Amino acid sequence: MKISVIGCGYLGAVHAASMAELGHDVIGIDVDEVRIDTLARGKAPFHEPGFDDILQKNATRLTFTTDMSVVKEAKVHFVAVGTPQASDGSADMTYVNSAIEGLLPFISEGHLVVGKSTVPVGTAERLSEQVTSTGAVLMWNPEFLREGFAVQDTLSPDRLVYGIPEGDSGEWARATLDALYEQILATGTPRLLMNFATAELVKVSANAFLATKISFINAMAEIAEVTGANVTQLADAIGHDARIGRRFLNAGVGFGGGCLPKDIRGFVARAEELGVGQSLSFLRDVDAINLRRRGRVLEMLVEELGDLTGKTIAVWGMAFKPDSDDIRDSPALDITESLARAGAKVVAADPAALLPAQRRLAQSGLSDSISLTDDHLVAARNADALVIATEWKQFSTADPVVVAGLLATALVIDGRNCLDSDAWKKAGFRYRGMGRS
């Protein structure tokens, strides 16, 4: 089948290449010329394991362009543009609205528009009026991929969610998307049919639940810190209860990235617009707990070292999570900037996120106090303390004896609770974890 994917960011680019991997001919469209150029050369514009491979392997079935008019060659059009956070916390719908407006002149009866972007509930109903005025049909098919596992999550998702209109057009939309996803469905992937509002809510409520789970365990970490309890042992113990589950119960400096933080804020803003703000007021606490944990690292360093002016702090990690070069709302970057503002000299290391971090720091005016390297051992040299801010494997498996030999003071703040605390203590470290000592 010939399809188009509008928006070639994280979501769209991976979706386009994955659809080509399933055997479809795909046109990827984006307004960003540099990104389109990179993708057209078979290169990934971001760090994502396995993405380069499927991009190159399926090059003959993939076209990337900035020219919207080529969508007329396709019958199914995925809308995968971003919905960043607006200044009031709500989701900025500019890109979704302009993608739909850009599509309208080129679609007609027999065309299916499939929304994949994360949108405020009610959006699909509104856009459906525009799309059906051309004779085409709109459906909503939210995406649940995680960065770092994007290809795997797209090709082997936990479930497929179809938000469809009532009646024959909904049935036709379902059959069309079923044909496109035939290989995924053949493996037994559950496919759930629902109306637009439910499909939109499934996506944001899933992210809100995950954020709540992380903030729950981080709240327990706060209690553990004043009682001498160990939050990792607590998570292991409650996680054995299948109703709770152990995943997403890792306490630390909290969640970041381009999705969880902005999605919970957008969800709160939408609930308020709908007059049910109270229903989601707990998400404000989820957000507050999350941001508080970033500040805790600075507090711990002051507890250990006193005034940070002139102190050198090594920070391992810049990306919001391992196996990613994404620094959007990254706790690691936030912590680095707060240390620099407190007068410290920071040497930060990340194996993948150096370039984006460099660009961001150049804008922050803090670049004089922060230097960056891709070598975590270089960053540790002569530092007064080490902060683990992202749990890259090379950090969690570093030899504490070697690291102790590099630092000026053997002090480690394990912001991701990813180190073997006994081994680090044995190597002479003063070890401070998040909710565990």
Q: Which residues bind ligand UGA (CB under 6 A)?
A: 118, 143-147, 207, 210, 214, 248-250, 252, 254-257, 259-260, 320-321
Nearer to ligand UGA, 134 or 205 (CB): 205
| Distance separating alpha carbons of residues 407 and 15, to the nearest angstrom | 44
Nearer to ligand UGA, 145 or 180 (CB): 145
Say whether 8 is catalytic. Answer: no
Nearer to ligand UGA by Cβ, of 270 and 311: the residue is 270
CA distance 136 to 154: 25
> Which of 259, 283, 308, 412 is an active site residue?
259
Please state, in angstroms and rounded to a whole number, the distance separating the CA atoms of residues 341 and 396.
27
d(C-alpha 182, C-alpha 175), whole Å: 10
Instruction: Report phi then psi at 340, rounded to 5.
Output: -65, -40
At its nearest, how many Å lie between ligand UGA and the CB of residue 221?
11
* Smallest gap from residue 144 Cβ to ligand UGA (A): 4
Indicate if the alpha-carbon torsion angle 32, 37, 40, 44 is positive or negative.
negative
Q: How many helices (H) and strands (E) does the chain have?
A: 18, 14
The tokens describing 263, both together, are 């999605």
Which helix (H) or strand (E) segment is 112 a member of? strand 112-115
Residue 386 backbone class (left: φ over 0; alpha: ψ -120 to 50; beta: rest): beta
Residue placing its CB nearer to ligand UGA in the complex, 384 or 414: 414
Q: Which is nearer to ligand UGA, 137 or 333 (CB)?
A: 333
- Helix, strand and coil content of the chain, in percent to the nearest 5, comes to 50, 15, 40
C-alpha–C-alpha distance, residues 259 and 64, integer Å = 25
Catalytic residue IDs: 259
